[in-house]
Structure 1
Amino acid sequence: MKYKALTLLILLTVLATLVRAQNLVPVARHLKSPPARKEKFQLYLLVGQSNMAGRGRVEAQDTVPNPRVLRLNKAGQWEVAQDPIHFDKPVAGVGPGLTFGRDMAALDTSVVIGLIPCAVGGSGIDVWQPGAYFPDTQVKPYEEALARARHAMQQGTLAGIIWHQGETDSTPEKSAAYRENLRALIARFRQELQAPAVPFVAGQLPAFQRTKTEPNGKPKPNPSLKRINKALAQLRHDVGHYSYISSKGTHDRGDQLHFDAASARLLGHRYAQAMHKLQRAASPSK
């Protein structure tokens, strides 16, 4: 009996190891105090839906801690950032946030980066407004993002906002209003957070997202998705301190909806490059 129990224990240990190898999740999160000086703690708000929250498979490189990149956890505490950064749903995985944070930390070694994860999978832009409730996750995305940002800003300085959303709005009716809706959202965030010139970077939707097929079975591009991507580009002419990044060269994880981990990291690099360019434009001396 003793040998059977030991054999079972070994098998369970091996199985657990294999599961973690397929999708690594940090078993321990380490709390860390931010810098005492607010200007040395640069905060970034991460908002949108599932492709900002991240659905890529977590690998070893996504759990390597950087003491200068922190995240605000669900309880409102600062901890060393590791993927998953978000916690909107149990399937949260690798998104662009961690790579973005690492790059921003590398660009300015005098500061600590604070990531404020607030993206909510499946949320349309219509629930990113005051008082709107999202029943899928039983939260008010906009209100919660404001509350978490304000909490973080007690210890740091808001340095930027990154946004990836639009899959839910890829319909003829919703996509037609997307440009104006996002312009209003950016203005609300800036007003509510008393940061009128905070840089805002949005991400375009990937071409692999399809909703229809041709008679021959081949995927057919979604014209509403193209309309949203066009709106994201055109906002450069309407909104100051704004930029967008392309999703070209990215791949899905097999569901024609979510970025795989490598693509999410690629977007993280692009977000950082665009954010840094906006910041340099605002402060040429940097």
Structure 2
Amino acid sequence: MGEHLSFVAISFLLLSVSFLSANEEKISIFILAGQSNMSGRARDYNNTNPPEFHPNPQILMFDVNQRWVAARDPLHVGIDVGRPVGLGPGMPFANALLGWDPCMGTIGLVPCAHGETFMSDWSKGRPYYDQLVMRTNASSQGGGRLGAMLWYQGENDSLTSENARLYRKRLMRFIADFRSDIGMPQLPVFVVVIASGLGKYKEKIRKAQMGIQLRNVIIVDGKGAEVKPLDVVHLSLAGAIDVGERLATAFKLLCHEQSRSGHPSSSSVTPSGKKLLGKKRKRVAEVEDRIVDAMNRFSEMTKVCIEDLSKKLGYDHDATKNVFGDLGKIPAMTVDEKLFVAEKLVENPKKLTLFFSLPDEDRNSMVKQLLKKE
């Protein structure tokens, strides 16, 4: 079967076929999402051409025109626009999977990451989220099967206390919404715990990511992965390989665990494409899965709502109080004006981040603009 899949993949390349027909063998699809370290910023400055980044006829990518083409770095060209895309963990992940099981078949990578994004930018209804759902659904229309989403994001959120405090809740909601919108409530999601960042709240983000406890969410710690020496945020070539291989190892462990249980989720991809369930048992299992999925989703969203209720009043009060204190340094502002500006800043994480990053003179100008708009 592996040889047949390899032949199909090679045929794609030779004949320049841009999509999969319903009659062709399925490919295992992996969504690459998050920010710059998933998109890739590494460079092969010494032209070492590491084998982990080598193209392989069994590795395809879903390009910006929604066509399956031979995967080749940089994977995010045309997706992460306006940014210096480079080499990321995607190709090392795919090559590691094939090294583990050459008979796995064809692997399809779907680049969806965007640099410099906050967790709030991935909320349901925002452009990056909508593009993610659209590309995910489009990638599987020709018969491919979703294996997992690989998520690597959080460095930007380490810049402010507010984003750090809200990160776990926002990530949980994002996962629940995404699974629901693609119709796969058990889709495995591999979350890379950040190991770098310029913000002083990096450890809070790491703790929030480590604390995610949802079904089929696998935590992969990125700590120790090498970063570029003059950058201190983005993975180096060795770091991208390291994280890609860690993700592949986590996926292998998940496959082994599901193989032992004899009851993989409907969204899982098993090595060599082997069926683990008979048809009758599979139908029963699917019904069981739907019931469990509904209960899990209810539990997940209830947990998020409880956190909202328990934190909102206290947190919003603290954040507004901190901003209000800084606004007190600006002369000739009434109490009402200070309260108004503080509330506006707390409601908008990006404006709040900008406010705290500005020198006093520029803060005065920003406050005047906010008051003028009102």
Aligned 8 A contact 2:53 2:92 in 1: no
Q: Given the alignment of the two structures, is residue 120 of structure 1 paired with residue 109 of structure 2, yes or no?
A: no
1:197 aligns with 2:197: no
Confirm or deny that 1:166 pairs with 2:160. Answer: no
Q: Which residue of 2 aligns with 1:250?
A: 225
Alignment correspondent of 1:262: 238
- One-letter identity of the residue aligned with 1:227: K
Q: Matched residue of 1:194: which SS?
A: coil
Deviates more, 1:56-65 or 1:92-101: 56-65
Q: Is 1:162–1:200's contact at 8 Å kept on the other side of the alignment?
A: yes
Which blocks of at least 5 consecutive residues in structure 2 are unaligned? 1-12, 263-269, 271-374
Alignment of 1:79 onto 2:69: yes
Q: Which of residues 195, 202, 205 in structure 2 aligns to 1:228?
A: 205
**Is 2:42 the partner of 1:53?**
no
| Structure 1 partner of 2:363 | none
Q: Quick one: which of 20, 27, 52 aligns to 1:41?
A: 27
Give 1:33 shift. 5.6
| Structure richer in strand, relative to its length | 1
How does 1:90-101 map onto structure 2 within 5 Å? 90-101=83-94
Distance 1:279 1:63 in 2: 24
Whole-Å separation in 1 of the counterparts to 2:18 and 2:53: 19
1:5 maps to none
CA distance in 1, matches of 2:104, 2:166: 41
The runs of 4+ residues in structure 1 deviating greater than 4 Å are: 29-39
Determine which of 140, 144, 164 is the counterpart of 1:153.
140
Asked if 1 retains the 8 angstrom alpha-carbon contact of 2:19 and 2:67, the reply is: no
> Distance between the aligned counterparts of 2:53 and 2:248, measured in 1?
19
Residue deviations 1:222-270 (CA, integer Å, cap 9, x gap): 2x111111111111xx301111112222222221111111101110000
Q: Could you give the per-residue CA deviations for residues 52-73 of structure 1, whole angstroms, max 9, x where no partner exists?
A: 1000004533662200011011
CA deviation vs aligned residue, 1:123-145 (integer Å, no higher than 9, x gap) = 1111112222xxxxxxx111111
Q: TM-score, normalised by structure 2?
A: 0.59
What is the one-letter code of the residue matched to 1:198?
L
In 1, Cα distance between the equivalents of 2:118 and 2:41? 17
Counting only pairs closer than 5 Å after superposition, residues 60-75 of structure 1 correspond to structure 2 as 60-61=49-50, 64-75=54-65
8 Å CA contact 1:38–1:157 kept in 2: the answer is no
SS of structure 2 residue aligned to 1:160: strand
Q: Indicate if the aligned counterparts of 2:53 and 2:91 stay in contact, CA closer than 8 A.
A: no
> Which residue number corresponds to residue 97 of structure 2?
104
Structure 2 counterpart SS, 1:102: helix
Corresponding residue of 1:3: none
What SS class does the counterpart of residue 126 from structure 1 fall into? helix
Contact 1:73-1:79 within 8 A present in 2 as well: yes
Give the conservation status (yes or no) of the 8 Å contact 1:202–1:245: yes
Return the offset for 1:102. 1.4
In structure 2, distance between residues paired with 1:232 and 1:32:
40
The 8 Å contact of residues 242 and 278 in structure 1, kept in 2 or not, is answered as no
Contact conserved, 1:34 with 1:112, CA < 8 A, in 2?
Answer: no
Task: Give TM-score, length-normalised by structure 1.
Answer: 0.77
Mark the CA change 1:270 to 1:246 in structure 2 (over 3 Å): closer, same or farther.
same
The answer on whether the counterparts of 1:32 and 1:80 sit within 8 Å (CA) in structure 2 is no
The answer to whether the 8 Å contact 1:70/1:113 transfers is yes
Give ranges in structure 1 of 5+ residues lacking alignment: 1-28, 133-139, 212-221
Matched position secondary structure for 2:146: strand
Contact 2:155 2:198 survives alignment (8 Å): no
Q: Which has the higher helix share?
A: 2
Using CA pairs below 8 Å that are at least 6 residues apart, which structure has the higher relative contact order? 1
Residue 34 of structure 1 contacts residue 41 of structure 1 at CA under 8 Å; is this kept in 2? no
